[in-house]
Amino acid sequence: MSIFVDETTRVVYQGLTGSQGRYYGLLNRDYGTQVVAGTNPRKAGTDVDGVPVFANVGDAVEATGATASCIFIPAPGVHDAVIEAAEGGVEFIVAITEGVPAHDEARFYNLLKRDFPGVRMLGPNCPGIISPGRCNIGITAGHIALAGGPVGIVSRSGTLTYQALYELKEKGIGCTTCVGIGGDPVPGTTFIDCLEAFEADPDTKAVMMIGEIGGSAEEAAAAFIRDHMTKPVSAYVAGVTAPPGKKMGHAGAIVSGGKGTADAKMEALREAGVKVGLNPTEAGELMVEIVAEL
């Protein structure tokens, strides 16, 4: 099985007519994902390489039965795009766009929680989600992922998401689902959301978690692992050498007042029973050891 998406997921691309939306939308379709529609109010009634374009998500859902949305809208329009997707009737929203203002993220995060409790959002500023061989929504290269399980992956870093997939593929280990949650301060889906879903998925036997400096998400995940997970976890936390008080890449990756350091996060994970690698390759090697013992 997989979490959140599978081969039955039907995706509408908001921004399919733009260069990036077109490129990744068609790439995902070629991978096997059911990309059934795009949206652009000025180009409704046209198509992109056979994929019909509608004025809005609601029209696309009504015509195609779309169940998920992928947002390739410039940052200033992401707030409205997220709300349009929720109001249009999709169950899962993947927001790829980076640079979304934090106050916009906080607003649509809380609007979704209040008014659309059945809708899950992934991102913004994330690579998306892939269930190898079944569904790929976002910008992850499908050829670096090996299907067949038994490992689930969740990562804050896009680049390290790809490396985790490739490290496992090189070692002959398949993945049930790989989720890039993004590194912004207000993620729509958290480590704990993914860990809980992987714990409930019968085909996922172990989990690889990639964290980074800033915030307290990794410490919260460690507490969840300690108290609620029965499946083994390996991890890597990026940013050991990052200087305090300086943002490192992601808006959420900032260490302040000695909190949110990589060392503190790694220690919390170790205390929860997680096997922590000092680099992504070592985390992959630790997963090899875990899989061998399953």
Dihedral sign, Cα of residue 98, residue 99, residue 104, residue 109: positive
| 25 and 38 Cβ atoms separated by less than 8 Å | yes
CA 20 to chain centre: 18
Take residue 91 and report the two structure tokens written for it. 């169950």
* Residue 250 appears among annotated catalytic residues: yes
In a 3-state reduction of DSSP, which class is residue 84?
helix
Nearest to 110 by CA among 4, 102, 68: 102
Q: How many CB atoms lie within 10 A of CB 62?
A: 13
Decide: residue 258, CB within 10 A, 0-12 exposed, 13-18 middle, 19+ buried.
exposed
Rounded CA-CA distance 252/130 in Å is 23
Q: Measure CA of the first residue to CA of the last residue in the chain; give whole Å.
A: 18
Residue 243 neighbours by CB under 8 Å, 6+ apart? none
Which of these is catalytic: 103, 143, 228, 250? 250
Q: Is 149 left (phi over 0), alpha (psi -120 to 50) or beta?
A: left
CA 215 to chain centre: 18
Catalytic sites, residue numbers: 250
